[in-house]
Amino acid sequence: MKRLLALLLVLISLAPCAVAERLPDEVLLTYYDDSIFFGDSITQGFRRYVSNRQQTDPGFMSGVEIVCTASISLYEGSRRGLQTNRFRYRGQDRTLYQITQQIRPQKVFILLGLNDPVGIQIEKAMGWIRDIMRGMDELCPGVEVYFFSMTPVTPGYCSQKNRPRYQEQVDEYNARLIMVCTDMGAHYVDIATPLKDENGYLAYDYSSDKICHLSDEGAAVWVQALCDYAQEQYDLGLWVPGQNNAGPELTPSTATDLDGATPSDLPSVLTLDPNY
Amino acid sequence: MKKLLSAILTLCLLCACAQCEPGSEGETLLDRVLRLVPDAAGLVRMSGDDLYDLIGIDPESCVDWVYLAAADALEGRELIVVLMPDAESADEAETLLDHYLEARMRETRNYLPDAYQALSEASVVRQGCLLILSVAAPEADEAALLLAEE
């Protein structure tokens, strides 16, 4: 009897640790349907990778809009007016907020900071992150905002830029980003850790230029990190594949631009806003 | 009877030769590009969404289109060929391609010098309703080569 009770106790204690089913990658990637990925040259490489995969698999990440400008910084991306480096969508210069208003996604994912660079100005970067959250709350309410971790760099980047501690600074930035995301109601997606080698730098095999940009192998790791994140959401009961979550309704009263115009009224090129 | 059979055979041979001639009817822009552009087979075939989202040209508005780019986005190599249905839509497409070129130059100016150099040497070439933007081509006269087929 005692042995039976002991066995029952062991079984009960193990139950929560039972491995949840691992969903297929094509199901996990539907987590990102109706999303926008905003980024810089790193995301440009990812977009090219996606386009390449879509040649043989047209459905691969087909629910994601990827909007990127090679040289755009986190600062410029966070502004409500157009800056020198700006996003461009369907032939029009647009801010991150305007594009979000235009597309009306459920989720927005952001990977910016390489061009600032955020590692050497972490406090300012946190301020820009908060600016993005405030901008999204005001201009695109209801859209879930996700920040990707800054991707790692190689030792070659650190020496080329004469920033020997830069990878440590990127790690500090990511640690602070997690805190700000929690504080501001955003989500943090770690794509940095799986890209690192045993020394904590961007693995050379994952880098196209052996500096900071990703190769196809690196992009594949990014995709796998997306799958892992989606699996985590499923395991936590926060997401059910195939469940139709209607996107936010952006009514004219809630979706206003800086000057009150609705997206369709916006001129093709907006004047720069030097004071923002 | 023999003369009739010879005439039919000759006619069949002539038809077969007509199918093999370059620029024959039924050849798509992609066929033409793959035939004439040395590195085309190794470039990524960008989708209609890419054409629309990145450049602003709705693929549904084109008679035909090709958008190829290097697998490495940092390289700057691109080839865009669009055939529009009329002069007015060709004007709009030309403007969009010009703006796209300007935007690419702006983003690469102090960032990717090699890509910027290639973009600054590129321009939109038009013949009728056919427009070509060729960047960092291995053949300097790539656009002219494609237009010569018109």
The burial of A128, by beta-carbon neighbours within 10 Å (0-12 exposed, 13-18 middle, 19 or more buried), is given as: buried
Q: A212-268, pLDDT tens digit by residue?
A: 999 999 999 999 999 999 999 999 999 999 875 544 444 333 333 333 333 443 433
Question: Is there a domain that residue A250 lies in?
Answer: no
Nearest CA in chain A to B53: A90
Angle at B96 between CA B94 and CA B125, to 5 degrees: 30
For each of chain B's 150 residues, which pLDDT tens digit applies? 777 766 665 555 444 444 333 345 688 999 999 999 999 999 999 999 999 999 999 999 999 999 999 998 888 999 999 999 999 999 999 999 999 999 999 999 988 999 999 999 999 999 999 999 999 998 888 988 888 876
Question: How far apart, in whole angstroms, are the C-alpha atoms of residue A258 and residue A79?
Answer: 11
Q: What range does the domain containing A210 cover?
A: 25-237
A93–B107 C-beta distance less than 8 A: no
Give the pLDDT of residue B56. 98
Domain parsing of chain B, residue ranges = 27-147
Question: Is there a domain that residue A5 lies in?
Answer: no
Q: Contact at 8 Å (CB) between A161 and A118?
A: no
A88–B54 C-beta distance less than 8 A: yes
The answer to ipTM > 0.90 is no
Which has the closest alpha carbon to A27: A255, A248, A242, A273? A242
- Among B residues 81-120, those touching chain A with beta carbons less than 8 Å apart: 96, 99-100, 103, 106-112
CB of A67 less than 8 A from some CB of B: yes
pTM over 0.90: no
Instruction: Tell me the nearest-neighbour CA distance from B58 into chain A, angstroms.
Output: 9
Question: Is there a domain that residue A177 lies in?
Answer: yes
Question: Is there a domain that residue A198 lies in?
Answer: yes
Question: Which residue of A58, A65, A85 is in closest CB contact with B53?
Answer: A65
Which has the closest alpha carbon to B89: B59, B69, B66, B49? B59
B44–A51 C-beta distance less than 8 A: yes
Number of domains in chain A: 1
Instruction: Tell me the nearest-neighbour CA distance from A52 into chain B, angstroms.
Output: 6
CATH number at residue A54: 3.40.50.1110
Q: A93-124, pLDDT tens digit by residue?
A: 999 999 999 999 999 999 999 999 999 999 99
Question: Which residue of B71, B74, B110 is in closest CB contact with A209?
Answer: B74
Question: Is there a domain that residue A51 lies in?
Answer: yes
Q: At what angle do helices A166-184 and A122-139 cross, to 10 degrees?
A: 30
